[in-house]
């Protein structure tokens, strides 16, 4: 007897007709993926009954629940994850001001802004972007706002920053499967107190935890959950209280 993987158990236990019509998404054909995923994420957001049903089911789905997180500046709730199709949908809710963080991603994705806005910068990095890149080598080449209702698609190698300009900014992300184990992030603005300078001088390699204080040019890695320790996963795990807060707040905001 074949044992189903956790993601297949999740998908098979929660049928969603909207996703039935979708074949595996080819994120390397980004123009085609953008057309498909932008339509799909808009249709999902517009179907508030479906949106609400999946949100309220997360607490009872161990596979999804393990992926719900509280980070330094945002909370994340994963609503759906079909690995075979390269289709994961998650909610992002800003909880604190976010600095300019020049970064690329482990995966390509489409983002639909539901509330608030982003100040979106695209960068060019001379000689590539890695742990040896200097802050002066990363220069903005485009600046624009992404407001509620706007949708954009990003390739995993694109270098950008999307700081929240309003607390309570909320978006839906439809992302593909990871194609990298980790992706670097650089602070283009300082965060926190002067103790960050001491930490920066002491560290011998990039940390894999987003710091609460940082100076311009300081970097860290974003890694996948499979690269994190059990202790780190426990630190980031969303609490039931926070999840239920969002379940109450999102209807009040008219999101679902």
Choice between 104 and 209, residue whose per-residue pLDDT is larger: 104
Q: Exposure of 130 by Cβ count < 10 A (0-12 exposed, 13-18 middle, 19+ buried)?
A: exposed
90 and 78 Cβ atoms separated by less than 8 Å: yes
Residue 199 predicted with pLDDT over 60: no
pLDDT in tens, 122-160: 999 998 998 889 999 999 999 999 999 999 999 999 999
100 and 161 Cβ atoms separated by less than 8 Å: yes
Taking the whole predicted model, whether its pTM rises above 0.95 is answered as no
Which residue segments constitute the domains of the chain, with CATH numbers given?
6-252 (2.60.120.10)
Q: What are phi and psi of 93, to 5 degrees?
A: -125, 120
Tokens (6 digits) for 75: 């909370």
Strands 87-94 and 69-70: what pairing? unpaired
Q: How far apart are CA 217 and CA 138, in angstroms?
A: 10
For residues 214-249, one letter each, b for 16 or more C-beta atoms within 10 angstroms of the residue's C-beta and e for the rest, the string is bbbbbbbbbbeeeeeeeeeeeebebeeebbeebbee
pLDDT in tens, 160-198: 998 877 888 999 999 999 999 999 888 887 766 444 444
Q: How far apart are CA 92 and CA 74, in angstroms?
A: 7
């Amino acid at each position: 007897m074949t044992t189903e993987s956790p993601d297949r158990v999740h998908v098979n236990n929660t049928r969603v007709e909207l996703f039935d019509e979708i074949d595996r998404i080819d994120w390397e054909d980004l123009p085609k993926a953008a057309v498909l995923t932008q339509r799909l994420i808009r249709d999902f957001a517009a179907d508030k009954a479906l949106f609400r049903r999946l949100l309220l089911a997360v607490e009872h789905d161990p596979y999804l629940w393990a992926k719900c997180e509280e980070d330094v500046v945002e909370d994340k709730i994963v609503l759906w994850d079909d690995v075979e199709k390269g289709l994961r949908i998650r909610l992002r809710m800003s909880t604190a001001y976010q600095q300019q963080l020049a970064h690329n991603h482990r995966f390509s994705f489409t983002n639909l802004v539901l509330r608030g806005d982003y100040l979106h910068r695209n960068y060019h990095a001379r000689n590539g972007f890695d742990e040896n890149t200097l802050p002066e080598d990363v220069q903005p080449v485009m600046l624009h706002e992404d407001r509620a209702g706007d949708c954009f698609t990003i390739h995993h190698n694109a270098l950008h920053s999307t700081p929240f300009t309003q607390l309570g900014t909320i978006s839906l992300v439809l992302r593909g499967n990871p194609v990298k184990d980790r992706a670097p992030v650089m602070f283009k603005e300082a965060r926190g107190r002067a103790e960050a300078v001491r930490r920066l001088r002491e560290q011998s390699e990039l940390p894999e935890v987003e710091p609460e204080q940082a100076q311009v040019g300081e970097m860290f890695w974003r890694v996948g959950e499979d690269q994190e320790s059990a202790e780190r996963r426990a630190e980031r795990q969303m609490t039931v209280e926070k999840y239920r807060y969002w379940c109450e707040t999102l209807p009040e905001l008219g999101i679902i």
